[in-house]
Structure 1
Amino acid sequence: MAVLTATTAGTDAGAEPARAAGARRRVAWLDAARGVAIVAMVLYHGSFDLLFFGYVDWPVTSHPLWRAFAAGIASTFLFLVGVSLVAAHGNGIRWRPFLKRLAWVVAGAAAVTIGTAFAMPMPIYFGILHAIALFSVLALPFVRAPVALTAAVAAVVFVLPHVWRDALFYAPWAYPFGLAPHMPVTFDYEPIFPWFAVTLLGVVAGRLVRLVPGEKPVGPVWRRIAVLGRWSFPIYLLHQPVLFGALMGIAMLTRP
């Protein structure tokens, strides 16, 4: 969200074109895609919470289709990070909004780690928000790099963990790399290898697809979904505490 600072009493009218210009910079289908991803994430986390409290016996954490659903959601978010970087910084890095957004994501990631350390048996140390923060930094040099180079690096990042791992990466400092022989037991883990490849593919797509800012989503349903996409970050931070807290309260009131 853009922050507008009024320097005189008469700047409200002048702020409207600035707001309109900020709105025109948004790419409608990116907002809609984030909206779809956030709806899917709420559905998945809601299903997980129902399982956690014993209200359903759905194999949310084990069945291949459920695992594919979760991976698809994470992949969508990480892919859109790459596309969004091109949309926002393809003509030059806008450092102030980039660093501001990065600070919010880092703070959100820290809140997830602290919250899950208290509420869950297995804290999340490098989940989707941690990945988005780190991958945003790592992908920034590729926004204007040759597309072929970006695609080649994405291929290496994706293939490497399937052909080589080492016990060295069990060390805590190496946790974000994802190259240990066995994956840690955690509820959310998107390490650099292979997940950064998805963000790089998003950068490639952003370079190859014409990104047109200012167009509005077609139809009332897509407009509402796009609104969710514009607010995906606070929705992500708040939906799980709300769902988890509500089910915890119900369980405390209805069970011995």
Structure 2
Amino acid sequence: MFEKKDLSRRVWLIDEGRGVFILLMVLYHLFYDLVFIFEVNLPVFEWKATGYFQLIIAGFFVFISGVSSRFSRGNLKRGVQCFAFGLLMTAGTWLFLPSQIVLFGILHMLGISMILFGLLKPILDKIPPLVGLIGCVLLYFVTYHTQTGTWGVLGWQIGLPTGWYTTDFLFFLGLPKPEFWSSDYFPLLPWIFMYLSGTFAGVYVKNRQCPSWFYTPHSRVLAFLGRNTILIYLVHQPIIYAVLYVLFALMR
């Protein structure tokens, strides 16, 4: 069921931001299913701008998740639960839609990131928030092309050893074999740095150092959705698939 919490200390803009981005993610997955499962010809999905749009949605969602971790006293528990939901997603796609199997998606990545943050928080707290924020953003862009074998930024680039991409077990780091496939793929490199950048930004948010409109409600509907993003993420794909399956069956 949807959670009921004391909302008196909520940072409304975080909840509302998550609500916006979970809605955009649902919309993206609707079009993804139309194109790649039901084979509808939608040229817009082939535009580069659409890929950037998906990347921006995911980036902000991961960043906000990092900010939110500053407000939790149980990141280890939350991380284990989130990773377990990711495994449930893997099992569900493997059993019912193997062509779209999710081996290491956003829930897996967020789960491990929460666990690592919970374990490393005493060390991370010794880093000045601004230094940590800038450093993690830089590391995100440096490691962004890990999957394709390079690290670099602003014209500087190094190639990674090809041997790193020959094992079956390092795909979670962003080192997949050439034949690796996951319909939703968010490896730790580079995404953990986007998450950690959010945790450093979260220091300022938690300390009430942001403008006052961060902390006042603007849309209770979006905030409600934002407080229940995990549940929405888990159920939206089966619902979308079921509705589209019925519609296309009726149209035959």
State the TM bucket, normalised to the shorter chain.
0.7 to 0.9
- Counterparts in 2 of 1:54 and 1:169: CA distance versus 1, 3 Å: closer
User: For residue 207 of structure 1, what is the amino acid of its counterpart?
Assistant: V
Number of residue pairs aligned between Structure 1 and Structure 2: 228
Matching of residues 201-240 of structure 1 within 5 Å: 201-209=197-205, 211-212=207-208, 215-218=215-218, 222-240=219-237
Quote the offset at 1:192 in angstroms: 1.3
Tell me if structure 1 keeps the 8 A contact 2:66–2:199. yes
CA distance in 2 between partners of 1:145 and 1:153 (Å): 15
Flag structure 1 segments of 5+ consecutive residues without an equivalent. 4-18, 89-93
Matching of residues 160-239 of structure 1 within 5 Å: 160=143, 161=146, 162=151, 163-167=158-162, 168-180=164-176, 184-209=180-205, 211-212=207-208, 215-218=215-218, 222-239=219-236
CA distance in 2 between partners of 1:237 and 1:2 (Å): 13
- Identical counterparts, % of pairs: 30
Q: Partner of 1:119 in structure 2? A: 97
- Counterparts in 2 of 1:64 and 1:120: CA distance versus 1, 3 Å: farther
Name the Cα RMSD after superposition. Answer: 2.8
Quote the offset at 1:150 in angstroms: 5.8
Matching of residues 88-167 of structure 1 within 5 Å: 88=72, 94=73, 97-117=74-94, 118-140=96-118, 141-142=120-121, 144-146=125-127, 147=129, 148-149=131-132, 151-152=134-135, 154-160=137-143, 161=146, 162=151, 163-167=158-162
CA distance in 2 between partners of 1:198 and 1:231 (Å): 21
Q: Partner of 1:242 in structure 2? A: 239
Larger % of helix: which? 1
Cα deviation, 1:165-199, whole Å, max 9, x if unaligned, reads: 23323312211111358594432111111111111
CA distance in 1 between partners of 2:240 and 2:207 (Å): 35
Quote the offset at 1:133 in angstroms: 0.3
Normalising by the residue count of structure 1, what TM-score does the alignment of the two structures yield?
0.77
Normalising by the residue count of structure 2, what TM-score does the alignment of the two structures yield?
0.78
User: For residue 171 of structure 1, what is the amino acid of its counterpart?
Assistant: T
CA distance in 1 between partners of 2:184 and 2:196 (Å): 20
Quote the offset at 1:252 in angstroms: 2.7
